[in-house]
Structure formats: C-alpha cells, structure tokens
Amino acid sequence: MSKGAILLFAFILFISGCSTRMTVQPTSPLPLIEPLYYPDEYFSGIPLEEKKTEEIEIVKLEVKEEKIETRKEDVSHLAPLPLPAGIPKESLSLPDIAVSNIFLKQKRKLFATLTNIGTAPFPMESGGLSLFVDGQLEKRYALKSLTDHGYLKPQESLTLPIPFSLFSRKEVEVRVDTPAELREMDMENNLLKKILEGFPIGPDIVIKDFDLTEDLELIIILSNIGEADLRKGVTFRIRIYLNDRKISDFEHFISEELKAHSKNHYILSPPYRVGIKGISRVKVSLASKLRSDDIRMENNVLERRFIIFPFQIGGQGKEQFSFFIPSPPLRGEELSEKIKMEVRWEGPSTPLKFSFGGPEESRSLLDISGTSPVKVEWPILSGEPQRESHWRVSVTNPFENRAEGHLIIQHP
C-alpha cells in the first residue's frame, strides 16, 4: 500500500472517532433561565414589563400636572384679590332697611322702629311706609313726613310715631316701600306683622297724688285720665300699705262723677286714719269691680316715701336739714319724677324763709319767703345712674316770734 493511501485511511479513522465521542457524551444540565418578574415586584398580576410601562406613564402624567400647576402659578398674580372674610361681594355699599319692631305707647298710639342693617346710608326721602290692619291697607305715609332724619346710617335705628290709634285687638303690619332704583341687600325684611291690643275708649282712673291733713294723716287723690267720664256710684277696692305692711283694705263708693281728661280730682280719706311720721313708705292700690269702669289697671298703684322733720325755731333762728334720695326707677311712660317740699308751721301770719338746695353736684339753691304753708316741687330724672343724691334744706325765722312746725318731704 502506498504512503498516500495510508495517510488517507488514518484521516478517515480520526474523523470517525471524533464523531463517535460526540454522540456518546452525556448531556449537560439545562442552563438556568431568569424569570421575567419577581414576587416583590408583582402586586396586581401585572408583569414587570407592563408595570414599568405603567410607571413611565404615571411619571409622564405627574410631569404634565406639574407643568399645569406651574402655569397656574405663573398667572396667579393676574387674578383679583379675594374679598375680606365675612363681607359678601353683593353686600358692599348697599343699605338694608328692616322693620325691627312695632308697638303701642300711651295706651294705643302706634310706633315703628326701623333699622339699617346694611353697609350704606338709607335715604329717608326715598321711602314710604304702608300700614295694614287685619290685612287691609289703612294708610300710606312718606317716611320724610314721619321724621326729620335725612339718612339712616348703617347699624342705626330710628323709632317713628305713626299717626294712628288702636282701640282693640288687631293684626298690624308695617311695610317699608322703596323705589326700584334703590337697591338693598335684602328686600324680605322690609315688613313686620304683630298682634297688638289697644285700650278701648273709657274712663282710666289713677291715684294722682298723696297729701297730709293738718294732723299728718293720709289723703288719697284720684283722677280720671281717660277719654270717657266715670259715672257716679262706682265702687273701688282700696288697699293701703305702710312700710310694706298692709294696714287698710276697704271698698269706697264714688260719690260724684269723675270727668274725663283729668278735669277734676276726687279726694278720699281712709275710713281708719293713717298717720304719717318720721320716715314712712306709703303704697296704695286701686281696683274696680268692672273692667269697663277702668280700662287700664296697670297704672292703679302709687308708692311714695315721706320724710317728716319737726322743728322749733326761735327769733332770728335757723335750722338746717339734709337727707338722701335714691334715684327713682322708670315708671311706664313717665320721663321724670318729682320731689315735693312743704313747710307748715303755727302762726300763719309769721313769714319764714325757706332755702331749698338740690343735689350737691347741681349746686342749685332756691330761696322762698312766705307764710304757712310754703310748697315747692322739684323735678328729678328717672333712672339716673347714681344710687342716691344728697339734698339740703334750711328754714330761717327772720323775726322775733317763735316758729314751730314741720318740714314735709315726699318723693318716689
């Protein structure tokens, strides 16, 4: 065999051996394959790749929102400033007239209170007032005819007298009318309804005053302040209290007619004498059996305080007195009360000088000379803030004759 044939045969054997080793070689384990997602990255069943895509979209959305907010911030300086808290935009510079109250005074005279609860003045000349009684229009009034106020300022109230009298129980409505061109914050509060009861026409008996006899015994003075006369023969029940103790309770038969409008006074004395001395508080109440004989019962009580000083003054002598008076409370419609002074003495032909001084802060002094009795009345305001005021009185005898008598003071 030739050398070339031998080499070819050997190459074929080498190739066959290599092929045999490859087919019998054991297989190696499969390579590990990494999962596409892990448990800590999976929350809603969305694979990692989808989650990444979603996160990218969220980031893009947040970037867009930031851009939008940035644009808003860039133009925020162009927006108008907000209004102060508590002041609605529509309420600026507008009046708001409201009928806050309607009531009766002096038994049956009608009054209405208007209040401007707006933020601008209300011109009174631009408005009117309509009065309805039991749903029927009674009368219309121009506001400027009821008051001299030109404007009603914000938060200001004004009470107007309405020229109308009520004589029974009625539904009363007061309405404020304004022109269309006058804008208000609220038009719903321009009216108010109330049930009011005015006193009917009839006699109105009051205890007008107290007086003392020469023996310092109490006398009661009655008067009829109503619109109708009180007939003769009416019976009243009268109670008298002295220093908060009831000392007399009796019925009195009116022996004469009491004319209306205080055209006459009626004087009565208790059946049992009531003597007054020192410092005494006297209270008297009056009640009729029939309502028609006295249409107003709440003014049938009168209470007064008496201070009585006895004195004895020799020739050209002088005696001084001082006392304190508490501030009287308001009594119904009365705006003021009175203090009454009286000096009475024996020997009425002998004149005395009476010096009467009011409260110390007023520094007022009044000198009166005359024969017995000398009387003075002095007004004092009701409801004054001071608790009491100091008053002083002096009695001077300019002659040689001896004078003996009493200084009588009566006040609320």
Buried b (16+ CB within 10 A) or exposed e, 148-163: ebeebebeeebebebe
Question: DSSP assignment of 30-72, as one string?
Answer: PPP---S--GGG-SSS--HHHHHHHHHHHHHHHHHHHHHHHHH
Q: Which residues contact 388 (CB under 8 A, 6 or more apart)?
A: 324, 325, 326, 327
Higher pLDDT, 151 or 25: 151
Buried b (16+ CB within 10 A) or exposed e, 214-246: eebebebebbbbbbbbbeeebebebebbbeeee
Residue 267 pLDDT > 90: yes
| Domain at 91-197, CATH class | mainly beta
pLDDT at 57: 52
State which of 20-24, 47-51, 143-147 shows the largest mean pLDDT: 143-147
Pick the CATH number of 304-412 from 3.40.1390.20, 2.60.120.380, 3.40.50.300, 3.40.50.800: 2.60.120.380
Every domain of the chain with CATH number 2.60.40.10 lies at 91-197
| Domain at 202-299, CATH class | mainly beta
* Strand spans (E) along 166-300: 169-177, 191-197, 205-212, 218-224, 235-242, 245-253, 265-268, 279-288
**If 0-12 CB within 10 Å is exposed, 13-18 middle and 19+ buried, where does residue 176 land?**
buried
Backbone angle region of 115, left / alpha / beta, with phi > 0 → left and psi within -120 to 50 → alpha: beta
pLDDT at 44: 43
Every domain of the chain with CATH number 2.60.120.380 lies at 304-412
pLDDT band at 71 (very low <50, low <70, confident <90, very high): very low
In the three-class reduction of DSSP (H, G, I as helix; E, B as strand; rest coil), residue 361 is classed as helix
Contact 315, 347 (CB under 8 A): no
In the three-class reduction of DSSP (H, G, I as helix; E, B as strand; rest coil), residue 326 is classed as strand
Instruction: Calculate mean pLDDT across residues 221-249.
Output: 94
Each residue's pLDDT tens digit, 78-101: 344 454 455 454 446 888 889 999
Of 8-12, 154-158, 261-265, least confident by mean pLDDT is 8-12
pLDDT at 25: 46
CA separation for the pair 336, 378 (Å, rounded):
10
Each residue's pLDDT tens digit, 333-377: 444 578 899 999 987 677 888 887 766 555 456 788 888 888 888
Between the two ends of the chain, the Cα-to-Cα distance in Å is 170
Instruction: Calculate mean pLDDT across residues 177-192.
Output: 85
Each residue's pLDDT tens digit, 273-289: 999 999 999 999 999 98
- Share above pLDDT 70 across residues of the chain, in percent, rounded to a whole number: 71
pLDDT at 24: 41
pLDDT at 14: 61
Of 84-88, 147-151, 266-270, least confident by mean pLDDT is 84-88
Please tell me what DSSP assigns to residue 159.
Answer: E
